[in-house]
Chains A and B, each alone.
Chain A
Amino acid sequence: MMRKFLYILVFALFAQAGVLNAGTTGSEELTGSGKSETTKECFEGVSRAMFKLNHGLDKAIFKPVSKGYRALPVPIRNGTGNVVNNLRSLLTLSNNVLQGEFGRAGNNAARFAINTTAGILGIFDPATKFGFEDQGKEDFGQTLGRWGTDSGCYFVLPILGPTTTRDAIGLVGNVFLDPVYQITHNTEISNGVVGNGSYSEHNYYYYRGIGAVDFRAKNIESFDSLEENSIDLYASLKSLYLQNREQKIANSTSAVETQDDSDWEEIDAN
């Protein structure tokens, strides 16, 4: 475990130093929140091709599956979403600690304990009624952002979708930091039989897959609307992804904190 933690720290230091930004072509610059942050493209042509692939897969597989999922009764969908969120809160908890957000970590620990017991393995969410409200998800990419790591360049991964250099490193870090993965992975190794038992690693992928379907099902209309009204869907999703990450890293709930007014002021001056 100690060795894994060291790997993460080494990754973080490399990212901090900007070593992993090497190879950035910077075909396009996007002004971020206006706070002197820019996010360049790593290799836009490849990313656009990956985006087309993902879009095709979404149409052929993910969207129909999400529509099927949404045909399930509301209590079943809510329960499923709650179970997934409850398991996901363990990764958030690890990152709360790494970010030094001990208040949030305590809140998440209490939520997990209450929802796993009184909430029957997370199917229900009594913790919110007890005053422990959901304060949002955290991942290792956000932790790196909180530590001051630059986002690096933007690109699109097959199936996993939009990311940046920092967030791609975060994806690797998540595997080490997620207790659900650690328990399922280590149990499988101990058993010596792949795919055997309730705690085997494939259950981790089921849980992540169900989480993705639940998210997609909640956003069917939003994505359809975006698709219908975009003149460049790739650019729209890129913008939304980067704005969302900025906001999550800032732990912001208000547009005033993350949106920049200088561009608006510029048009007033004209």
Chain B
Amino acid sequence: MKKNFFIIIFLICAFTQKSFGYSSDPKQFITEIVNEVKKILVDANTKEFKSIKLSEIALKTVDIKGVAYYSLGNYKKLLKDGQLEEYLTLFEKYFLKSFTSRLTDYSDPKINVLSTEVVNEKYTIVKSVLLATDKRPEVKIEWRVYTKNPDKPLIRDLIIEGLSLARTQKEEFASVIETNNGDINKLFITLKEFTAK
């Protein structure tokens, strides 16, 4: 009886591990995410449910903290005590809302993951294409995958037709701060306003 109990616990753990785990191979990692996102976009009935499920994927597969630091750039040095934690919390909310909002408009995206290019031991670029529809042409999408921990790759940037979303975000943040005479609190207010929309 005791042996059966251990087997059941082991099986539950194995299943749980599998359902939350992703491949350590960057190409396979992206393929799994693409398939998972596609399934949610096709199966989920409401936009709210899609947003919740997509947020869960983003929290597991995107290096949100890394992207948050990158987006702030050198302005990170201006943060006072406690502001970094506040910024990270705000950024996560902002990122998830922005990320899910961009995706929920797609009903059945067809993405083919094509190849990989190892930049260095910390980064691999995974190349893919979003196939053309009647409304728009084919779109090249490159995923910057952070591989410092080879067992747990994480996405740090999406490069669409050569245009980096992370860099665009970083320059947008810098613009908000600069146009308000270097006041970083204005960025915090803007992020709060965005997430409250």
Could you say which of A162-170, A190-198, A205-213, A235-243 contacts chain B?
Answer: A235-243
Minimal beta-carbon separation of B177 from chain A (angstroms) = 10
Contact between chains at B125 and A255 (CB < 8 Å): yes
Given A218-B137, A239-B167, A264-B70, the answer on whether A244 and B176 have CB atoms closer than 8 Å is no
- For B73, list chain A residues within 8 Å (CB): 263
Contact between chains at A231 and B136 (CB < 8 Å): no
Would you call A117 an interface residue if the criterion is a C-beta within 8 Å of the partner chain's C-beta atoms? no
- For B94, list chain A residues within 8 Å (CB): 231
**Size range of the interface on B?**
35 or more
Bound-state CA distance A252–B161 (Å) is 10
Contact between chains at B159 and A229 (CB < 8 Å): no
Bound-state CA distance A70–B133 (Å) is 12
Give 1 or 0 for each of B177-197: 1 = CB within 8 Å of chain A CB: 011000000000011001000
Bound-state CA distance A240–B110 (Å) is 24
Contact between chains at A254 and B175 (CB < 8 Å): no
Given A243-B164, A244-B162, the answer on whether A235 and B172 have CB atoms closer than 8 Å is yes
Minimal beta-carbon separation of A224 from chain B (angstroms) = 8
Which DSSP category, helix, strand, loop or mixed, fits chain A's interface?
helix
Contact between chains at A232 and B172 (CB < 8 Å): yes
Query: Which of B136, B156, B164, B172 counts the most chain A CB atoms within 10 A?
Result: B172
Given A239-B172, A255-B142, the answer on whether A268 and B159 have CB atoms closer than 8 Å is no
Minimal beta-carbon separation of A31 from chain B (angstroms) = 8
Bound-state CA distance A44–B180 (Å) is 13
Would you call A19 an interface residue if the criterion is a C-beta within 8 Å of the partner chain's C-beta atoms? no
Would you call B101 an interface residue if the criterion is a C-beta within 8 Å of the partner chain's C-beta atoms? yes
Contact between chains at A30 and B171 (CB < 8 Å): yes
- For B144, list chain A residues within 8 Å (CB): 255, 259, 264
CB contacts under 8 Å to B, within A21-74, are 27-28, 30, 44, 70, 74
Would you call A219 an interface residue if the criterion is a C-beta within 8 Å of the partner chain's C-beta atoms? yes
Could you say which of B41-49, B52-60, B116-124 contacts chain A?
Answer: B116-124
Would you call A234 an interface residue if the criterion is a C-beta within 8 Å of the partner chain's C-beta atoms? yes
Would you call B21 an interface residue if the criterion is a C-beta within 8 Å of the partner chain's C-beta atoms? no
Given A259-B159, A263-B73, the answer on whether A243 and B178 have CB atoms closer than 8 Å is no
Would you call A247 an interface residue if the criterion is a C-beta within 8 Å of the partner chain's C-beta atoms? yes
Contact between chains at A255 and B159 (CB < 8 Å): yes
Contact between chains at B163 and A243 (CB < 8 Å): yes
Given A225-B102, A239-B168, the answer on whether A70 and B135 have CB atoms closer than 8 Å is yes
Would you call B174 an interface residue if the criterion is a C-beta within 8 Å of the partner chain's C-beta atoms? yes
- For B140, list chain A residues within 8 Å (CB): 253
- For B81, list chain A residues within 8 Å (CB): none
Contact between chains at B69 and A270 (CB < 8 Å): yes
Return 26 A-B CB contacts under 8 Å, by A number: A28-B175, A218-B137, A220-B135, A225-B102, A228-B101, A231-B172, A231-B173, A231-B176, A232-B172, A232-B175, A232-B179, A236-B168, A236-B171, A239-B168, A239-B171, A239-B172, A240-B168, A253-B140, A255-B162, A258-B162, A259-B159, A263-B70, A264-B122, A264-B123, A267-B70, A270-B76
Nearest 5 pairs of A and B residues by beta carbon: A235-B175, A239-B171, A255-B159, A247-B162, A267-B69
Chain A interface residues (CB < 8 Å from chain B): 27-28, 30, 44, 70, 74, 218-222, 225, 228-232, 234-236, 238-240, 243-244, 247, 252-256, 258-259, 261, 263-265, 267-268, 270
Starting from the known contacts A243-B162, A263-B70, 14 additional A-B residue pairs (CB-CB under 8 Å) come to A30-B174, A218-B136, A221-B105, A225-B105, A229-B98, A229-B102, A231-B176, A232-B190, A235-B172, A243-B163, A244-B162, A255-B125, A261-B123, A264-B123
